[in-house]
Amino acid sequence: MDVDEAMALLEAAGTAQNRKTYRNHGVKGEQFGVSFATLDKLARQIKRDHHLAAALWVTGNQDARLLATRIADPARLDAATLDAWAGDLDNYIVTDAFAAMVARSPLAREKMETWTRSEDEWEGAAGWNILAHLAMHERELPDDYFRPYLKEIQRDIHSRKNRTRYSMNSAMIAIGIRDQVLMVDAIETAKQVGPVDVDHLQTSCKTPEAVSYIRKTWDHRARKAAKASA
């Protein structure tokens, strides 16, 4: 499949209602309004196609970029490409998808460590989202790898930009549900942080309250384990 064929499929799949919904969530640029379910179906059809992913990204179209994050080969992502794509981020939907892609790449830790320090709202959000993915999936990392980030969250979260704050809150939660030792540290951090104010634009979305979310997750795991052993 070439980029023209992919763009035609995306355009045919878009809807006015989805475009309106995405605009309410902060998407401002060109888009067709393709649902996530359709994007995932197309990604399964295309499979890995790194060349097509690069071509889709440079179109600037929101749906094309979301598809690009699903079909890019994480192993082939180089630093220059990631920095260029990070500079194009302009809403949280594509930022979340981009971060999930980078988290699967060999450069995940390097880019996370750089972008979490960025003053740019979207680079910052991407960095903290990658940290959340690492906390949830990279089991070989020691607990001490994550503790400095909890300290940074406690110190800086309220002074960072809007969606960076949201991603820092998400990272704090992800660290808290990684293991029971970090759970204690993350809950204490969350208590010190208090409520995190995030503008969710024209949506009914809410910012998760970290202490409650972490405790509910561990309670759910305990009930599930008890049920499995019964």
* DSSP output for 37-98: HHHHHHHHHH---HHHHHHHHHT--HHHHHHHHHHS-GGG--HHHHHHHHHH--SHHHHHHH
The residue type at 208: P
- pLDDT per position as a tens digit, 29-43: 999 999 999 999 999
- pLDDT per position as a tens digit, 7-26: 999 999 999 999 999 999 99
Using a 10 angstrom Cβ sphere, with 0-12 exposed, 13-18 middle and 19 or more buried, the burial of residue 64 is buried
- pLDDT per position as a tens digit, 98-120: 999 999 999 999 999 999 999 99
Q: What is the pLDDT of residue 115?
A: 98
Q: What are phi and psi of 143, to 5 degrees?
A: -55, -35
- pLDDT per position as a tens digit, 63-96: 999 999 999 999 999 999 999 999 999 999 999 9
> How confident is the model over 155-172, as a mean pLDDT?
98
Confidence band for 229, pLDDT divided at 50, 70 and 90: confident
> Which helix (DSSP H) or strand (DSSP E) does residue 11 occupy?
helix 3-13
Q: Is 173 helix (H, G, I), strand (E, B) or coil?
A: helix
